[in-house]
Amino acid sequence: MSGRKTQASSSTEDEINDLLSKLRAEINRNGTNKVSMSKLLKETCKHIKRLQKEVDSLSERLSELIASPDTGSAEADILRKLLQQ
């Protein structure tokens, strides 16, 4: 379980580091162009908000599956397998 979790965490961290590198490169490329910097930061914030909404939606769905009395559903089986990892 911890091996997969560590691998997933490492993969996520690698993705974040890659995106941060791209963001830094874009900021450096734009130099002092404040309009582009402002637009870039706004788009970054929008993306973060979209990701947060997705996390909230998935959390809500997970809660519904956990609370569901239909423990024989395919989704419940998948959830149990994921939680056992």
Task: Encode pLDDT of 35-60 as tens digits.
Answer: 677 777 888 889 999 999 999 998 89
Of the candidates 36, 56, 32, the residue with the CA atom closest to the CA atom of residue 44: 36
Q: What pLDDT is stored for residue 30 in this prediction?
A: 62
**Domain containing 28: what range?**
2-84
Q: What is the dihedral of CA 16, 17, 23, 29, to 10 degrees?
A: -160
pTM score, two decimals? Answer: 0.52
Task: Encode pLDDT of 9-39 as tens digits.
Answer: 677 788 888 888 887 777 777 665 566 777 7
Q: What pLDDT is stored for residue 52 in this prediction?
A: 94
Q: How far apart are the first and last CA of the chain?
A: 4
How many independent structural domains does the chain possess? 1
Of the candidates 50, 57, 58, the residue with the CA atom closest to the CA atom of residue 82: 58
